[in-house]
Chain A
Amino acid sequence: MSTALLQATTHEKKPSITKKKLLPYWLLAPGIIWLVIFFLVPIYQLISTSTQTQGYGIGTYVQTYRFSNFIDAITSSKAQLIRSFEYAFLATAFALIISYPLAYAVAFKSGRWKNTLLVLIVAPFFCSFLLRTVAWEQILGEQGLVIKFLRFAHIMGAQGHLTATPFAVVAGLTYNFLPFMTLPLYASLERIDIRMMEASGDLYANALTTFRKVTIPLSMPGVVAGTLLTFIPAAGDYINAELLGNPGTKMIGNVIEARYLEIVDYPGAAALSLILMVTILILVMAYVKRAGTEELV
C-alpha cells in the first residue's frame, strides 16, 4: 500500500516538475513578447524594406532583394553620414569637457547644495527637447544677446551670424545631451571612497597625480557610460541640424527623414537606418572592448 501511495505521489509530482521548469519562461513571457513585438518585428520589417524597390504607385514597394540599395544609400549620402559621426564626436568631447568638472564639483565640493545642483542638471528635461532647441534658435539669433555682444565687441561683423552654422548644430547637440553625460559621471565619481584620495596623498602624490592616477581611473565607468549615452543619440539626431543648421550641415537623420517623408523612398530610408545602426554598433563595440564594461553603471 505504501508503494502504491508512493507511486501515486510521484505520478502527481511529474506534471508539477514540468510546470516548474516552464515557470521561468512564463515569468519571462511579458518581456519576450514585448521584445518580439516591439524589437524583432520592426527590425525584420526594416531589413525587409531595405531591399525592396519602387512598385506601382508612389509609396508602394515590392520585394526584389536589391542589395545595391545599400551601396546607393552610402554613395548618395556619404557626406551626411560622415558629418553625423563628426558632429556626434565633437558634441561628446565637449560634453565630457564640460561635464567632468561639473560632476566633480557636485560630487565632492557642493556640500549642502548637492541636491539643488542635481535638480538643476535634470531640470531641462521638464521642458520638451524640441522647445529647448527652438529656444536656442532665438538665443543665438539676430535678436539674441550673444550676437549683440559679439557685434559690440567687434568680434563679428554685421553680416555674420551664429544660427544656420555648424557651430550652432554642435552647440545644440552638446547642450541637449549634456545631462546624459553628467549624471553617469556624477554617479561614478560620487561612489569613489574619499579615503583612496587621502591614501594617495599620504603616499606623497600631489593633487594632480592623485587626480590622474586615482580619480580618473575610478571614474572610468562613468566616462564610458556617459560617452555612449551622448554619442549614440547625437549621431542619429536630426532636430538640431534641422533647426540650427543650414543645407550644408544636414546629418544622416535629416536624410532618413527626407527619404521617408518627402521623397517617399522607404527602401532608401530603411537601408540608411540599418547602415546607421550597424555603424554605431561597430563603433560602440570597439570602444567598449577597449574601455571595458565590467563596472558600467
Chain B
Amino acid sequence: MAIEFSRRDLIKAVGGLSAASLLGLSGEGIANAASSQQTVRFANWSLYLDYDNKTKRYPTLVDFTKKTGIPVKYMEVVDDNDTFTAKVTPQLRLKKDIGYDIVVLTEWMASRWITGGYVTKFDDAKVPNRKNVLPFLLNRPLDPGRHYSLPWAGVIAGFAWNNKHNPKGIHTMEQLFAPANKGKVEVLSEMRDTIGLILMWQGVDITKPFSQDKFMNAIDYMQKMIHDGFIRQVKGQSYQEDLISGDATAVIGWSGDINQLNAQNSNQFGFAIPDSGGTFSTDNMMIPAHSPNKINAEAVINYYYDPVVAARVANYINYVCPVAGAQQAMAKINPAQVKNKLIFPDAAMWKKLHVFRELSQSEQISFATAFQKASGNA
C-alpha cells in the first residue's frame, strides 16, 4: 500500500513521535498526530464503557459513529487521577494539545484542572442533552453551573468481600479488620475513599470542615492496621485481581467493580455501603484546553446524555447513572437492573452517601503526603 506523506505531515508525525515517546504514550496516539484532527480521542478509565467481547468493540460508540459520521478513538489510559494528570501537565502548561479531546477525571482532580485553566468551556447549545443530567449533579462545588465538566458516572466506595470468607458480609470497620481477614485486606490508594470511610466510622462529618488532627487520627488508624499486618496492600483498581485469586478476602472498593466481578465469577463477592456511611464522588468528562476537536467532542458528550444510551452504558458499567430518564429506559434494556440501587440510588441510599469536602491547596499537599507516608511511600 502506497502512502503519500506531505513534508508537513512527516514533520508532524515525527514531532508527535518524539512527544509521544517522551510521555510514554501508546502507539495509537502517534497515528493521530499524522492523521486529520477529525477523530475524537477519548481518554477514560478501564471497564467504563459498554464493550462487546465478541466484536471487540464499544457498541454505543459504534452507533454514535454510524449516526454522526464522527470517528472516535477510545483509550483506556486513565488508571489513576494523579498519575494521568502528572503525565499530561507539561503539555497543558505549554498550552499544547495533549492528545485527548475528552478526559474523564474524578471530581477533586477535575476541580484542579478547572482552576488551573486546563479545560475548555462547553458551548451549551452544542450539548442540549445536558438538560437530562440529574439536577443535584448539575450544581457541584467543582464547577457551579457545569460550564466545564459533566458527570460521566457516580462512584460509591464501600466494603467488598469474598462470600466464602465473610459469610455474614461486611458492614462495619471492625468486620473489615476481623481476624479472619488478617493479612488479606486491601484498601484503595484513592485517599478520599479510604480515609473518608475511616473518618466517617470515627464519627467525623466529611462534608464539613474538620481539623488536621481528625484527619491524622484516621491516618493513624490506617497505619496501625498496616503495622499490625491486617492491610496487605494499598492499591488502585487492581484489587479486583486479588479478590478473584483469593489473595485478598476483604477490601475497600468501588461499587461497580464488584457488580462486574460477580457477573464474571458466579456471585462470589458482596458489596455494601458501611453502616457509618460511604463516599460518593463523580467522574467527569472535560475537554482539555487547546483540543483541536472541540465541536466533535461536544457531540460525543451530548450523545451520552441521551437516556437510552446512558442506560446501555450503566447496564454494563454498573456505576451510578447521572442521567434522568435512564431508569425508565433501563426497563427495555435490562429489567433486572431497574431496581439496582447501586445504579439508581433511592432516597434511603443517598442518605448513606457523603461527598468528601473540598481541600485547600496546603491541605491537599499535607494530607496527600501523610497518606503516602502511611502507605509506605514517603
Q: Residues of A at under 8 Å CB distance from B?
A: 54, 57-59, 76-77, 80, 138, 141-143, 159, 161, 163-164, 246-250, 254-255, 257-265
Residues of A within 8 A of B184 (CB): 161
Q: Report the minimum CB–CB distance from B361 to chain A (whole Å).
A: 6
Question: B39 an interface residue at 8 Å Cβ cutoff?
Answer: no
Residue of B183, B368, B374 touching A263 (CB-CB under 8 A)? B368
Residues of B within 8 A of A259 (CB): 372, 377-378
User: In this complex, what residue of A is CB-closest to B81?
Assistant: A262
Q: Is the Cβ of B378 less than 8 Å from the Cβ of A264? A: no
Residue of B82, B226, B246, B374 touching A143 (CB-CB under 8 A)? B246
> Knowing A76-B378, A247-B226, A264-B82 touch, does A163 contact B247 (C-beta < 8 A)?
yes
Q: Is the Cβ of A261 less than 8 Å from the Cβ of B82? A: yes
14 additional contacts (CB under 8 A) given A143-B245, A263-B378:
A54-B365, A58-B112, A58-B361, A77-B378, A141-B242, A141-B246, A142-B247, A159-B183, A163-B247, A247-B377, A254-B377, A255-B378, A258-B375, A261-B83
Stretch at the interface among B143-151, B200-208, B227-235, B330-338: B227-235
User: In this complex, what residue of A is CB-closest to B83?
Assistant: A261
Question: B86 an interface residue at 8 Å Cβ cutoff?
Answer: yes
Residues of A within 8 A of B231 (CB): 246-247
Residues of B within 8 A of A258 (CB): 372, 375, 377-378
Q: Is the Cβ of B378 less than 8 Å from the Cβ of A246? A: no
In the assembled complex, the Cα of A260 lies from the Cα of B372 at a distance in Å of: 12
Q: Is the Cβ of A260 less than 8 Å from the Cβ of B86? A: yes
Q: Is the Cβ of A142 less than 8 Å from the Cβ of B378? A: no
In the assembled complex, the Cα of A285 lies from the Cα of B78 at a distance in Å of: 41
Q: Is the Cβ of B378 less than 8 Å from the Cβ of A248? A: no
In the assembled complex, the Cα of A222 lies from the Cα of B361 at a distance in Å of: 52
In the assembled complex, the Cα of A163 lies from the Cα of B365 at a distance in Å of: 31
Q: Report the minimum CB–CB distance from B246 to chain A (whole Å).
A: 4
In the assembled complex, the Cα of A261 lies from the Cα of B90 at a distance in Å of: 13
Q: Is the Cβ of A142 less than 8 Å from the Cβ of B377? A: no
Q: Is the Cβ of B365 less than 8 Å from the Cβ of A246? A: no
Q: Is the Cβ of A262 less than 8 Å from the Cβ of B372? A: yes
In the assembled complex, the Cα of A123 lies from the Cα of B86 at a distance in Å of: 34
User: In this complex, what residue of B is CB-closest to A257?
Assistant: B377
Q: Is the Cβ of B245 less than 8 Å from the Cβ of A142? A: yes
In the assembled complex, the Cα of A260 lies from the Cα of B89 at a distance in Å of: 12
> Knowing A58-B361, A159-B183, A164-B232 touch, does A250 contact B376 (C-beta < 8 A)?
yes
User: In this complex, what residue of B is CB-closest to A57?
Assistant: B116
In the assembled complex, the Cα of A159 lies from the Cα of B229 at a distance in Å of: 11
Residue of A59, A141, A255 touching B247 (CB-CB under 8 A)? A141
Q: Report the minimum CB–CB distance from A173 to chain B (whole Å).
A: 17
What are 13 A-to-B residue pairs whose CB atoms are below 8 Å? A77-B378, A141-B246, A142-B245, A159-B182, A246-B232, A246-B233, A247-B231, A247-B233, A254-B376, A255-B377, A262-B82, A264-B86, A264-B368
In the assembled complex, the Cα of A257 lies from the Cα of B372 at a distance in Å of: 11
Residues of A within 8 A of B89 (CB): 59
In the assembled complex, the Cα of A259 lies from the Cα of B368 at a distance in Å of: 10
Q: Give the contacts of B330-370 with A (CB-CB under 8 A).
A: 361, 364-365, 368-369
User: In this complex, what residue of B is CB-closest to A238?
Assistant: B377
Residue of B245, B369, B372, B374 touching A141 (CB-CB under 8 A)? B245
Residues of A within 8 A of B82 (CB): 261-262, 264
Residues of A within 8 A of B376 (CB): 80, 246-250, 254
Residues of A within 8 A of B112 (CB): 58
Q: Is the Cβ of A262 less than 8 Å from the Cβ of B232? A: no
Q: Is the Cβ of A138 less than 8 Å from the Cβ of B183? A: no
Q: Report the minimum CB–CB distance from B205 to chain A (whole Å).
A: 26
Interface string of B130-160 (1 = CB under 8 A from A): 0000000000000000000000000000000
Residues of B within 8 A of A249 (CB): 376
